[in-house]
Chains A and B, each alone.
Chain A
Amino acid sequence: MNLLQVRELKKSYARGLLGRKVSVLKGLSFSVPAGVVTGFLGANGAGKTTTMRCILGFDFVDSGQVDVFGGPLNVAAKRRLGFLPERPYFYEHLTGVEFLQFYAHLTAPIKKAELRARIERLLRRVDLLFAKDRPLRNYSKGMLQKIGVAQALIHEPELVILDEPMSGLDPDGRLALAEIILQTAKQGTAVFFTSHLLHDTERLCERLVVMKDGKGIYEGTTEELLNKSGFELEVSFLKNGERQLVKVGTDIEVQSLLMKLLNDGAKILEVRRLRLTLEEIFVNMAMRGGRT
């Protein structure tokens, strides 16, 4: 079942003094199924953030359709949705607990005891229990990002949309956030997020949507994309006391190479399957104009 369905989305903005129309989204279509982590990739200026804005109704679309939980984005749908914007700024005057209370109350009425338990559980999960009574103005960037994720999850949504959740975080922060995303997905919440950090995306996302110049150029599983791009086999062996490496392109080639090496008295050390990383594939697709 698709929680989010985007069809033929078009959006343009008026730019400059003369209000010249610049097309940002040019008929984008994709879907986000339930229960999986979907990554949304594209180069800078491809239109990812605009897409997010249109999905969430912050900006009005020129044409096309966005269905969230099978219908238009209404109050009922928003109750089942969590969102963290890019470079989030929050109400700095609130403490961590007040901040989460505020967003929980805005979403739906909730009993005090239940809310208290939920906040405590969530703060423990994002490792911010120690700072729960500090005003947000005293939080570091990583802490703000984590409390931002917590606010997106406070009402236990079925779909969470995260815009660049890992940007600007140090490796520790990224690791922690990746762990939170994985845990969230394990609990059955679908996660849809944009990121420039492709190593993390490759590790976290079961599905990918890749866009370029306002249009979708790939939608499918990460595995499928990685496999489509082909692979190489690297054979490492010892011959005449010397370590050597040979790369071949197919399974058949590797079989015959191994037979030959064994016949020659070589010692096989390792056979490794090498494939392009998501980063390499992405550069090829989104930057150089390749299409999968």
Chain B
Amino acid sequence: MRAIWILALNTFKEVIRDRILYALVLFAMLLIGFSLALGQLSFAEQARISANFGMSAIHLCAVMLAIFIGSNLVYKEIEKKTILTILARPIGRTQFILGKSLGLALLIVTMVSGLALVLCMVFWGLQVHVGLRFVLVLLGLLAEALVLLGFTLLFSMVTKPLLVVCFSVGIFMIGHWQGSLQFFAERSQGRELKVITWVVKYIIPDLERVNWQDLILYEQPVELAAKMWSLGYALSWFAFCVSLAVVLFKRKDVG
């Protein structure tokens, strides 16, 4: 566990000292700031528009971090051969993958928390009370980012970063459109779409299960038990992908 933590801290430090992260944070801050201006376009729905835009900014930032940094997380170590000096130490390949994932997960949590604080100030300025609902929305965002990180890690075991990004963006899009896909499949006459939808349901996670922004936007009731199940669902996908990534990594020549 100690080794995993040391690797995680190093990964955290590595990304936090990277300029790309600051560009991403700046981008998210600008979006949040822009949400205020955008809200003013509406007379009656200013708070809702600002909240929607602000939360989407955090969502986008967390997803981009998971996919773009995640796609290079192990690949860069192998390409630059920094992995060699790590694996020559008493570190197993499982520990290596877990340490790297934990480091990036920590970073996503830190960044989402920081941006959430900024959004809280926006909410405070707009006199919107959010409380537990906002915390749940953030947990949902983090769970989604973890699922995407898991898939990104898994893809990076078998292909190069550019393709990893493409595949992960695909998972992100299909993951959010599963509901629509099923809707169309049910109304479709052809069998093919039904089969595809059935397969997709089992091989791609339904990311809408952890998209809880409606809790704030439409003040939906908080069903805590259902939310916890959905969190468990997302974390299971993350654990499954990371485990599979570990299995593949254990068979990989890294020299």
Interface residues of A (CB under 8 A from B): 13, 49-50, 52-53, 56-60, 75-76, 78-79, 81-85, 87-91, 93-94, 102-103, 105-109, 148, 151-152, 161
Checking B85, B87, B254 against A103 with a beta-carbon cut-off of 8 angstroms, the contacting residue is B85
B-side contacts of A88, CB under 8 Å: 81, 85
Interface SS of chain A = mixed
Q: When chains A and B are docked, how far (Å) is the Cα of A103 from the Cα of B7?
A: 10
Checking A50, A59, A106 against B86 with a beta-carbon cut-off of 8 angstroms, the contacting residue is A106
Checking B2, B14, B87 against A56 with a beta-carbon cut-off of 8 angstroms, the contacting residue is B87
Q: A89-B80, A93-B14, A102-B10 are in contact. Are A83 and B85 (CB under 8 A)?
A: yes
In the complex, besides A59-B255, A82-B88, 14 extra interface pairs with C-beta distance below 8 angstroms are A56-B255, A58-B254, A87-B81, A89-B81, A90-B82, A93-B13, A93-B17, A102-B6, A102-B10, A103-B85, A105-B2, A107-B89, A108-B90, A161-B88
> Across the interface, do A85 and B85 meet the contact criterion of CB distance under 8 Å?
yes
Q: Which of B87, B88, B253 has the most CB of A within 10 A?
A: B88
Q: Does B162 reach chain A (CB closer than 8 Å)?
A: no
Write the nearest CB–CB distance from A104 to chain B, whole angstroms.
10
B-side contacts of A83, CB under 8 Å: 84-85, 88
Q: When chains A and B are docked, how far (Å) is the Cα of A161 from the Cα of B87?
A: 14
> Across the interface, do B10 and A58 meet the contact criterion of CB distance under 8 Å?
no
A-side contacts of B6, CB under 8 Å: 102, 105-106
> Across the interface, do A91 and B10 meet the contact criterion of CB distance under 8 Å?
yes
0/1 per residue, B6-19, Cβ < 8 Å to A? 11001001100110
> Across the interface, do B255 and A151 meet the contact criterion of CB distance under 8 Å?
no
Checking A60, A81, A85, A106 against B84 with a beta-carbon cut-off of 8 angstroms, the contacting residue is A85
Q: When chains A and B are docked, how far (Å) is the Cα of A166 from the Cα of B116?
A: 50
Interface residues in B239-255 (C-beta closer than 8 Å to A): 251, 253-255
B-side contacts of A56, CB under 8 Å: 84, 87-88, 255
Question: Nearest 7 pairs between A and B by C-beta?
Answer: A53-B255, A58-B255, A83-B88, A89-B80, A75-B90, A93-B17, A59-B253
B-side contacts of A107, CB under 8 Å: 89-90
Q: When chains A and B are docked, how far (Å) is the Cα of A58 from the Cα of B91?
A: 12
Q: Which of A58, A75, A85, A161 has the most CB of B within 10 A?
A: A58
Q: Does B185 reach chain A (CB closer than 8 Å)?
A: no
A-side contacts of B217, CB under 8 Å: none
Checking B17, B87, B90 against A58 with a beta-carbon cut-off of 8 angstroms, the contacting residue is B87
Q: Does B3 reach chain A (CB closer than 8 Å)?
A: yes
Smallest Cβ-Cβ distance to B95: which chain A residue: A106
Q: When chains A and B are docked, how far (Å) is the Cα of A31 from the Cα of B251?
A: 27
**11 A-B interface contacts by CB (under 8 A):** A49-B255, A56-B87, A58-B87, A60-B251, A78-B88, A78-B90, A91-B14, A93-B18, A94-B10, A105-B2, A106-B86
B-side contacts of A81, CB under 8 Å: 88
> Across the interface, do B3 and A106 meet the contact criterion of CB distance under 8 Å?
yes
A-side contacts of B2, CB under 8 Å: 105, 109
> Across the interface, do B13 and A78 meet the contact criterion of CB distance under 8 Å?
no
